[in-house]
Amino acid sequence: MKRPNNPLKPWRALRTGARIGLERLVSRIPEAIWLRFLKLRWAGLSAYGAEAALRALLTEEKALAGCIDQEAIRYDHGIHAKHRLTRYHDFFVHRIFPDERVLDVGCGNGAVAYDVADRAKARVVGIDLDPVYIAQARERFSHPRVEYLLGDALICLPPEGFDVVILSNVLEHLAERPEFLKKLMAAARPSRLLIRVPLFERAWQVPLRRELGLEWRSDATHETEYTWETFTEEMTASNLVISHVEIRWGEIWAEVKGP
């Protein structure tokens, strides 16, 4: 039986073609003209007052930052350029010793776990709740000394303990962080944790965004972003002692130990 024609198909094809044509046209506009347009837009927004102009400009800046992130991933062939440029992997690699057992909680696509196994010669278990990340890690960052697990780090760990736990951009996504850290210490039994978290005081626009009621977090899924004071308070509440800290690239990189 012949299916009836979908009357929406020609319209969708036309709309798609128009979008592609517009994208190509816009991409050919010289940068100098875009910059002039932006200055004209700023002048127009300023007529409504500084607060309204800041709201609009900061909202557009946030959208532009998202586009830059996507291009930074494409630029480095699927891995955000920040991994290479900030060299934050070095913080973990340099503080882990050969043959240590390492648990990478929230391992994501496995980039850090791979580097720790390859460069520090450690044995690494990477664990994440997201099956897409685990699939990516197994495909792109497989290594003889790395095992990737799908599941909850508090209930899905192998029976052997670990020497080190890595929490790279993980804590800020959790609501009950001190409770989580206490349970993780009990489950993994590490001698130390290596923690990387975003700093609230990374730029003056962050508190301004919050003051204006705009999204101020670097990621909308963050439960918190830290000041040095709130970080130390949370470590104390988690019965952990900070033994080493570095403030770099708008982040806190810390080694902490149990009492």
- pLDDT tens, residue by residue, 182-220: 999 999 999 999 999 999 999 999 999 999 999 999 989
**116 touches 143 (CB < 8 A):** no
pLDDT tens for 41-92 read: 888 889 999 999 999 999 999 999 999 999 999 999 888 999 899 999 999 9
Of 17 and 230, the structure prediction assigns the larger pLDDT to 230
Question: 226 phi and psi, to 5 degrees?
Answer: -95, 150
Asked if residue 2 has pLDDT above 70, the reply is no
- Tell whether the model's pLDDT for residue 7 goes beyond 80: no
Straight-line distance from the first to the last Cα atom of the chain, in angstroms, rounded to the nearest whole number? 75
- pLDDT over 90 at 29, yes or no: no
Percentage with pLDDT > 90 across the chain: 75
Residue 27 · residue 42 · CB < 8 Å: no
**How far is the C-alpha of 76 from the C-alpha of 167, rounded, in Å?**
23
| pLDDT level of residue 25 (50, 70, 90 thresholds) | confident
Instruction: State the CB neighbour count (10 A cutoff) for residue 54.
Output: 18
Confidence of residue 244 (pLDDT cuts 50, 70, 90): very high
In this prediction the pTM is 0.85
pLDDT for 10 beyond 90: no
Residue 30 has pLDDT above 80, yes or no: yes
Does 3 have pLDDT greater than 60? no
What are the domain boundaries of the chain? 31-75, 86-257
Tell me what the pLDDT averaged over the chain comes to. Answer: 91
Q: Are 205 and 58 in contact (CB under 8 A)?
A: yes
What integer is the mean pLDDT of 6-35? 72
Q: Give the neighbor-by-neighbor strand order of the sheet with 146-150.
A: 146-150, 123-128, 101-105, 164-168, 192-198, 251-257, 241-248
Report pLDDT for 137. 96
Q: Where are the beta strands (DSSP E) in the chain?
A: 101-105, 123-128, 146-150, 164-168, 192-198, 241-248, 251-257
Average pLDDT of span 106-131 = 96
pLDDT at 225 (0 to 100): 96
For the domain made up of 86-257, give the CATH fold: Rossmann fold (3.40.50)
pLDDT exceeds cutoff 90 at 157 = no
Other beta carbons within 10 angstroms of residue 81's beta carbon come to: 16
Average pLDDT score over residue span 143-154: 95
